[in-house]
A and B are shown apart, each in its own frame.
Chain A
Amino acid sequence: MADSGSEEIAVIGNTDLTPSESENNLKNTMVEKGTSLLKMMEISVAEAEKRTGKNAVNMQETYTVYLIETRPVDAASEGTNPVPDSLWRRYSEFELLRNYLLVTYPFSVVPPLPEKRAEFVWHKLSADNMDPDFVERRRVGLENFLLRVASHPDLSSDKIFYSFLTEENGWKETVFETGFQAKADSRLKALNATFRVKNPDKRFAEMKHYGDELQSVISQLLRVRARAADRLYGVYKVHGNYGRVFSEWSAIEKEMGDGLQSAGHHMDAYAASVDDILEEEEHYADQLKEYLFYADALRAVCRKHELTQYELEMAAQDLTSKKQQREELATGTIRTFSLKGMTSKLFGQETPEQREAKVKMLETQIEEGEELVKERNTECEEFVKSAWVDIERFKEQKDHDLREALISYAIMQISMCKKGIQVWNNAKECFSKM
């Protein structure tokens, strides 16, 4: 078992982890910042298996588990080929890991998981989670997720992530021990709350808008693509009927018979070729889906910025009002309405001692308020700094990945066209021999 514990790795279970603390952690870890886990170990999701067991409410259920294999990189280069370490995890455990990462690294655009349920399916694709094709595509998606996390400058050095890959038993307890769930609830509340921020960072507002647009356009693209795939399937398959009728027709012909018969076989081949074509295209759809879900992660980071900014503004507002109150007490003028002030007017002034006590209290509050504002300001600034770094990193990754996806899509189309040309040329040759 690879050694995961080291004094140098800070406890990540600290729920009040601020960006500055996290940066501290990174400095203390075995892995230098910028060196991803992937450089140290090979990770793969090698297999999927069906299991049955009793769930939380003691009901029988069938689920799929995935085999995670890890192997130190140097081992392979040394020439020896040791058996990789491996453990089984199910989808819900991946979800737990991701939720933990979302809460613990709010300034990171956390890689998404493959979809929970099959969406944007066209008729031949199954929407069944137990369908072997779906399971296979999910396996690839889960591996992709792990590789993304393992190559992320911040996430890859996370201890919980490491033990996800290496410790089969007790991992769930470890995660819950971090207490991240409490923070998860408040985070969820924050994400769903509506509040108005007076001075959001323009860049984050734009990014959030971009995330919205990206999500909308990719959804639309996937929907139309699925419908088009359905139609294309129909076009190819109907050509198979030519095969049958040419064969029947050739039976009553003398000279034309052979040509017709062989042409018919080519029509059958043409009809059959669409299965592979559309399977490949599904891979392209999966690449798009990843960024559909990435858009969500991006928006979450922007929302978090709004929250920190809002909290800063609230603290600043509160400080200002406290300062005003102090001023009023000092000068005796009442500019702000207060019930106490009104009652004292009606029922008589307060004693100098009382006023003295009040002023002292306010001074303390103002002092504390100034500290809070300073704190929140730093928090905000640090969040903006870290988040923007990751957003820039994400932007570059997105541009690169999507460009690659488009290239491979174009290559797929080219291959499909070439196959089509070949089949019809073969058929044409047969026809010309009729």
Chain B
Amino acid sequence: MNENLFASFAAPSMMGLPIVVLIVMFPSVLFPTPSRLINNRLISIQQWLIQLTSKQMLAIHNQKGQTWALMLMSLILFISSTNLLGLLPHSFTPTTQLSMNLGMAIPLWAGTVITGFRYKTKASLAHFLPQGTPLPLIPMLVVIETISLLIQPMALAVRLTANITAGHLLIHLIGGATLALINISATTAFITFIILILLTILEFAVALIQAYVFTLLVSLYLHDNT
């Protein structure tokens, strides 16, 4: 039972070859390139969704920040599609791997910080000390603000990993409990099944929300530095 619980998080391989790269690349197949002025229904719906999200997300940015539009939209599309595909039974979810999420979070966060230090050095350094801080608190607050800046990529990655992993584990556990209870008590099994249905609906929402939160936070870090 213990081995089965975490088996779905192991890196998948087929005939000894790792196929995790194929799994990571797969969601891009679901977003075909628009090739006409008026496209088919799938592409039109995707374009509408992308426009809606990008308008809302890029509204706070100035011209410099809006150069990150492609990056931010690719990020939210990738994470949301990966999370949603991971809810299919027996599928592997790349965003449950901390290594992958760190690989997304650290370069993006570092990019925003380096952009800020390069173009607005004074403002970026002054950001470590909130305005109006009393004199005795200044050194401590500078240290605290530095630590909170350095923790940002870790928090980004761990938040996504923990949320998706926890959801998958819960579904696995409650699904197992439902199966085990069928022979013991049909009523309890039915109630557990209802809980499983509700949890799955919640996980659909969490998959989209976590993608949005990740992208929004990167967008906010960019806004602070541009």
A, B co-complexed: no
